[in-house]
Homo-oligomer: A and B are copies of this chain.
Amino acid sequence: MVDRLALIGVGLIGSSIARRARQDGLAAEIVATARSRETRETVAHLGLADRVTETAAEAVEGADLVILCTPVGAFGAVAREIGPHLAPGAILTDVGSVKQTVIDDVSPFVPEGVHLIPGHPVAGTENSGPEAGFPDLFEDRWCIVTPPEGADAAATDRLVAFWQALGSKTEVMDARHHDLVLAITSHVPHLIAYNIVGTAADLETVTQSEVIKFSAGGFRDFTRIAASDPTMWRDIFLNNKDAVLEMLGRFTEDLTALQRAIRWGDGDTLFNLFTRTRAIRREVIDAGQETPAPDFGRPHGKG
């Protein structure tokens, strides 16, 4: 499927691509690189790649598929470094959670004859680093591919087929629309999870020990998302500012209406919303994007 796959950055996503590609023989050769020596050594030790290079420039030499798997804030600098070394006809893609800034930051460095086709697998866990990956991470999850205007259709098709081979369902979308969709389905949810965990930690009237002990009332769910990689998420918010601020504005407007309903004892407004939202979980489960098991199937008790 791929002759030489180059992975720039090998965290949760990069290492999951490597594991699945190796398991299913999707690439004749996998070359990987990472900025820190420690990560490179872990990648070599785990046998995730055929070769581990010290620089991104070396990694992309002769690769027909190059995937940027670093935090999105690093993409511009990486593109500047690898641009002159990209092979003619290669596909350059990424796994970043924002897509328009990838086009803005990376395309100036992409030589004629190389196909920039950004992508985003909507999958993950709260863990990070090369040890956190696993080959089934993308199974039944969606990967959104956002070819820029005028992109080569055959290159887009090849990338789509690669993600399908990794286990994903795929959707082709405009980059700006992607950023709006992900702002509401991922970025604002992460922001409010980080925020509530921070608020709870900073109270004077309730101790941190009480917050931890009684977290099973709902709070603990938010701590999972709020344990996600800080660098990755800083970069997402800085690079999807407009869409996040727009969706956050909607969220806050709606929350203010709920606050008013609570203050004035308007139980019907609360009840009607709570009934509508219940149906949406059913749809998420029916779409195969969530387990039907109660409480995410988490263990109860010692068993």
A192 to B221, CA, bound (A): 12
A97 to B216, CA, bound (A): 12
A1 within 8 A of B: no
Check A224 against B263 for contact (C-beta < 8 Å).
no
Q: Which of A165-215 contact B (CB under 8 A)?
A: 167, 171, 180-182, 184-203, 205-206, 208, 210-215
Whether A215 touches B136, Cβ cut-off 8 Å, given contacts A277-B197, A294-B127, is no
Copy tally for this chain in the complex stands at 2
Check B255 against A238 for contact (C-beta < 8 Å).
no
Neighbour of A213 across the interface among B196, B234, B275, B289, CB < 8 A = B289
A270 to B231, CA, bound (A): 9
A184 to B200, CA, bound (A): 6
Neighbouring B residues of A300 by C-beta, 8 Å: 134, 136-137, 139
A126 to B224, CA, bound (A): 17
Whether A196 touches B186, Cβ cut-off 8 Å, given contacts A137-B300, A238-B262, is no
Residue of B nearest to A301 (CB): B139
Check B262 against A237 for contact (C-beta < 8 Å).
yes
Residue of B nearest to A203 (CB): B184
With both chains docked as a complex, state the minimum distance between the C-beta of A197 and any C-beta of chain B, in angstroms. Answer: 4
A228 to B190, CA, bound (A): 21
A37 within 8 A of B: no
A218 to B226, CA, bound (A): 10
Neighbouring B residues of A284 by C-beta, 8 Å: 212, 215, 220, 223
A218 to B141, CA, bound (A): 12
A11 to B278, CA, bound (A): 17
Check B265 against A238 for contact (C-beta < 8 Å).
yes
Neighbour of A184 across the interface among B181, B219, B227, B273, CB < 8 A = B219
Residue interface mask A218-252, B partner, CB < 8 A = 1: 11111111111011011101100100110110111
With both chains docked as a complex, state the minimum distance between the C-beta of A124 and any C-beta of chain B, in angstroms. Answer: 8
Residue interface mask A128-139, B partner, CB < 8 A = 1: 000010101101
Neighbouring B residues of A132 by C-beta, 8 Å: 294
Whether A230 touches B296, Cβ cut-off 8 Å, given contacts A212-B280, A223-B280, A255-B192, is no
Given contacts A198-B254, A212-B289, A221-B222, 11 further A-B contacts (CB under 8 A): A124-B216, A182-B214, A189-B218, A189-B219, A191-B258, A194-B258, A195-B273, A212-B280, A226-B280, A235-B267, A238-B267
A-B contacts, 8 of them at CB < 8 A, read A122-B214, A185-B217, A190-B218, A191-B262, A194-B273, A230-B278, A241-B262, A245-B263
